[in-house]
Chains A and B, each alone.
Chain A
Amino acid sequence: MSTTATSAPLFGMHGVTVTFGGLTALADVDLDVEPGQVLGVIGPNGAGKTTLFNVACGFTRPDAGAITWRGEDVGRLRPHRLASLGIARTLQGLGLFDGMTVLDNVVAGADRWARSGFWSDLLALPRSTRDERDLRERAMAALSELGIAEHAARYPAAMPYGLRKRVALARALVAEPDLLMLDEPASGLSEEEMAELGELIAGLRSRMSVMLVEHHIDLVMSVCDQLVVLDFGRVIARGRPEEVRDDPAVLDAYLGVEVDTDSHPAPDAVTHLGEGPR
């Protein structure tokens, strides 16, 4: 666990409010992600977790509030600027590029490391070729780290869900972000895969901060340094996992809502893909 209470937070959201018509999806939410920290965002379905990520990535513009990166207000965030800031995100629905090989999917994730431009691509100048080789090596390294290097030449659509999830993760990791945002990374994984994922996330701490939205309480409890609990768009509790677990407000929010502790959802990948695209 990192003890960086004195240094500036890496990423912060301050007073973020989002309304959809009459519905308040986020109400005055504050949170900070410290360098090297794994921050879990939990809450019942519809609590506003994905909306929080969408605000953080510039897909949803908040009605009020500010976002800071390394202590500076980023103003109006545009999603394609995130990668160059050092922020990567995986999507709840994976969003793999199905017309491209696994390797190309991951190379695409390494885009921020490329220097060559349109003209050198057009003329296939040595600069482009060098760049390309470098990106491929980075991508192969990321695939190896996730144990799927042998699938590099395949197309994701023909692969099992668990492998596809790893491809999506490799695509985010290859960017070597300072902040990695994971939206429900464990959904649809087997018990064993989930344990591996837990170890992987814990191991990322030395390289980056992680923001994790997850339903599997076991996983959240084991890997997160800090938790933020949302309910109806409000932060109802925050703190270390063991503090939050016993918080009466949290128990109350989850009352009547099935807390998915250890049983993993239906193994059928198709139903999983269908239930929430992002």
Chain B
Amino acid sequence: MAAIKQVLAPSHATGRLLLGVVGIAVAVAVISMVGEFRATQLASMAYLGVAAAGLTLLTGLNGQLSLGHGALMAIGAYTAALLLPDADAGTPLPVVLLAAVAVTVLVGAVVGVAAARLHGPYLAGATLALAVAVPGLAIYFGDTLGGEQGLSVSVPDVPVWLADAIFFLTGTDPSRGRYVSYVAWVVLVIVLVVLANLARSRTGRRWRAVRDDEIAAQLVGIDLGRNRVLAFVVSAACAGLGGALMALAVRLTAPSGFTLTLSLTLVAAIVLGGLGTLTGAVIGAALLTFLPQVVTQFGGGIGLDDVQSAQLAPFVYGLVMVLVVLLAPAGLVGSLLRWRMRRAGRRTSAVLDGPPPSVPSGSDSSDSSDSEPSDDSPTSTQPTPRGAHS
């Protein structure tokens, strides 16, 4: 049977690895060809993408909403800034990035343990508090963390071997900005491959099970708390990595860069792209990076002055959000997947079960908020964030 053959096929881990290698090659080629400004923009897209990819796993796969990932990015960024205070620091970038991951993993574990006990609005509230509090710390510890002014980040010299390789390929020496962009994209691709591995593995399946039905998940042997904390930590590590890349790209780490807006931007990115899909996270990051500029240019094109064009961006941005939520509630990628799934479902059910099923989706008992199974509790039809596959 075709269905059995398809589902028994070996997992495509090798395929993902190859795709990753191709992805890195394409990214490097593109970054070498575009102008300096575009290269910087691509770097922003990459660091937003890294953080959004981690967040979409947490929210889409494990059902935990975090409004505080901007704060975790700040922790990664400040770690990077402290390791790269001036040109003499000479900390190799891999060390900087790993240190940022290590610190955010620690913080993420603490926050994750608290988060694992909270549900829905309480979790949103707690992570929101984190988003608000962390930038405040930078001001409170102004002596070390630079206060309002923040810390400047000194990007190390481009390694000689890399400069030579780039010169060999493109005939130009890479600037520091471009160098950061290369690094950011290599990191993004690695993060995507690794997270896709996780999402398709047993670990990812456990996270989904926890999201879909807590009681049933426990009965198949899944420790809710442990898996929630693990998901939070993985997601925090990505945020920290994204933050460190942001510090490198912006070359400054200041509280004003990590306001609540950043956290909300990340949520917007994953919702726009489609919750729980890594492709969606990348598309969301791209939209957030490029949309404002495209719109501003468009505004200039239709004869608006600079100020008006600049004001157009948030307006269009809001409009896109509203349209996506209304027309494609599962996000861009999510809606596409859902549409394909529905088509496939209709085909099989028409053949096998006669009339279409009468059970409306979402009306069953999976209620992620009750902790005690009881015969008599009312059935809630609270929607859980439902992701598809990455």
Number of A-B contacts (CB under 8 A): 222
Q: How far, in whole Å, are A29 and B213 apart by their CA atoms in the complex?
A: 30
CB distance from A244 to the nearest CB of B (A): 22
Contact in complex: A108, B374 (CB < 8 Å)? no
Closest chain B CB from A41 CB (angstroms): 13
User: What is the CB-to-nearest-CB distance from A233 to chain B, in angstroms, rounded to a whole number?
Assistant: 13
Q: Is the CB of B1 within 8 A of A149?
A: yes
> B16 at the A/B interface (Cβ < 8 Å)?
yes
Contact B218 A80 (CB under 8 A): yes
What is the predominant secondary structure among interface residues of chain A facing chain B?
Answer: helix
- Residues in B neighbouring A175, C-beta threshold 8 A: 220-221
Q: How far is the CB of B381 from chain A (nearest CB, A)?
A: 9
Give the docked Cα–Cα distance between A58 and B231 (Å).
25
Q: Does A159 contact B (CB under 8 A)?
A: yes
In chain A, residues 142-173, which have Cβ atoms closer than 8 Å to a Cβ of chain B?
Answer: 149-155, 157-161, 163-164, 171
From B97-105, B108-116, B364-372, give the one contacting chain A: B364-372
* A88, A89, A98, A112 — most chain B CB neighbours (10 Å): A98
Q: List chain A residues, Cβ under 8 A from B374.
A: 50, 54, 277-278
Q: Kindly state the separation between the CA atoms of A276 and B11 in the bound complex, as whole angstroms.
A: 38
Please tell me if B144 contacts chain A, counting CB pairs below 8 Å: no
CA distance A84 to B384 in the complex (A): 28
Contact pick for B198, options A112, A122, A277, A278, CB 8 Å: A122
Beta-carbon contact of B216 and A155 below 8 Å: no
Q: Is the CB of B224 within 8 A of A80?
A: yes
Cα distance A154–B343 when bound, in Å?
11
Q: How far is the CA of A60 from the CA of B375 in the complex (A)?
A: 12
CA distance A95 to B348 in the complex (A): 23
Which of A54, A80, A93, A131 contacts B221, CB < 8 Å?
A: A80
Chain B contacts of A274 at CB under 8 A?
363, 379
A68-76, A113-121, A258-266: which lies at the interface? A113-121
Q: Does A236 contact B (CB under 8 A)?
A: no
In the complex the two chains form, is A109's CB within 8 Å of B220's CB? yes
Chain A residue at minimum C-beta to C-beta distance from B223: A80
| Chain A residues bordering chain B, tally (CB within 8 A) | 71
- Report how far A51 CA is from B353 CA in the complex, Å: 36
Tell me whether A140 is interfacial, beta carbon within 8 Å.
yes
> Quick one: which of A83, A124, A136 contacts B13, CB cutoff 8 A?
A124
Per-residue interface assignment for chain B, residues 355 to 383, with 1 indicating a CB less than 8 Å from any chain A CB and 0 otherwise: 00111111111110010111111110000
Q: Please tell me which one of the listed residues A80, A99, A153, A155 contacts residue B6 in the complex, with CB atoms under 8 A apart.
A: A153
Q: Contacting A150 at CB < 8 Å: which of B11, B197, B352, B386? A: B352
The verdict on A57 contacting chain B, using a C-beta distance below 8 Å, is yes
Nearest chain A residue, comparing its CB with the CB of B355: A160
Contacts of A116 in B (CB 8 A): 201-202
Q: Which residues of A contact B365 (CB under 8 A)?
A: 91, 93-95, 273, 277-278
Return B85 CB to nearest CB of chain A, in Å.
Answer: 32
Determine if A270 and B11 form an interchain contact, defined as CB atoms under 8 angstroms apart. no
Does the CB pair B215–A140 fall under 8 Å? no
Bound Cα distance from A107 to B11, whole angstroms: 14
B302: Cβ under 8 A from any A Cβ: no
Enumerate chain A residues within 8 angstroms of B342, measured Cβ to Cβ: 158
B68 on the A face (CB < 8 A)? no
Least Cβ–Cβ distance between A94 and chain B, in angstroms: 6
Q: Looking across the interface, which residue of chain A has its beta carbon closest to that of B1?
A: A150
Chain B residue at minimal CB-CB distance from A149: B4
**B69 / chain A contacts, CB cutoff of 8 Å:** none
For residue B205, which residues in chain A have a CB less than 8 angstroms away from its CB?
100, 104, 107-108
The reply to whether A93 and B4 form a contact with Cβ atoms under 8 Å apart is no
Least CB distance, B345 to chain A, in whole angstroms: 5
Known: A91-B215, A277-B367. Is A121-B4 also a contact (CB below 8 A)? no
> Which of these, B341, B344, B364, B384, contacts A93 with CB under 8 Å?
B364
Whether the Cβ atoms of A154 and B345 lie closer than 8 Å is yes
Q: How far is the CB of A154 from chain B (nearest CB, A)?
A: 6
Number of chain B residues whose Cβ lies closer than 8 Å to a Cβ of chain A: 68
Does A8 have its Cβ within 8 Å of any Cβ on chain B? no
The chain A residue with its CB closest to the CB of B377 is A277
Residue B169 interfacial (CB < 8 Å):
no
Contacts of B3 in A (CB 8 A): 149-150, 152-153
Known contacts A50-B375, A91-B215: A123-B197 contact under CB 8 Å:
yes
Q: Indicate if the CB atoms of A111 and B206 lie closer than 8 Å.
A: yes
Q: Is A137 an interface residue (CB 8 A)?
A: yes
Chain A residues with CB under 8 A of B194: 122-123
Identity of the chain B residue whose Cβ is nearest the Cβ of A58 in the assembled complex:
B218
Q: Which residue of A lies closest to B211 (CB)?
A: A99
Chain B residues 217 to 275 lying within 8 A of chain A, measured CB to CB, are: 217-224, 230
- Which residue of B has the minimal Cβ distance to A81? B221
B203 interface residue, CB < 8 Å from A? yes
Please tell me if A207 contacts chain B, counting CB pairs below 8 Å: no
Min CB gap A70→B, angstroms: 18
B359 near A94 with CB under 8 A, answer no
Could you tell me the distance between the alpha carbons of A103 and B194 in the complex, rounded to whole angstroms? 23
User: In the complex, what residues of B have CB within 8 A of residue A133's CB?
Assistant: 8, 10-11
B364 pairs with A98, CB closer than 8 A: yes
B220 touches A132 (CB 8 A): no
B215 pairs with A135, CB closer than 8 A: no
Interface: A206 (CB within 8 A): no
| Given A132-B201, A140-B4, A140-B8, A96-B216 contact (CB < 8 Å) | yes
19 A-B pairs with CB atoms under 8 Å apart are A83-B221, A91-B215, A99-B208, A99-B384, A109-B220, A111-B206, A116-B202, A118-B230, A122-B203, A140-B4, A151-B352, A153-B6, A153-B348, A154-B344, A175-B221, A277-B377, A278-B365, A278-B374, A278-B377
Q: A95-B366, A96-B366, A153-B348 are in contact. List 12 more A-B contacts (CB 8 A).
A: A88-B220, A91-B219, A92-B375, A93-B365, A100-B205, A124-B201, A132-B202, A136-B7, A152-B3, A154-B345, A155-B361, A158-B345
3 nearest interchain CB pairs? A93-B365, A83-B221, A124-B13
Measuring CB to CB, which residues of chain B are less than 8 angstroms from any residue of chain A? 1, 3-4, 6-8, 10-11, 13, 16-17, 194, 197-198, 201-206, 208-209, 211-213, 215-224, 230, 341-342, 344-345, 348-349, 352-353, 357-367, 370, 372-379, 384, 386-388
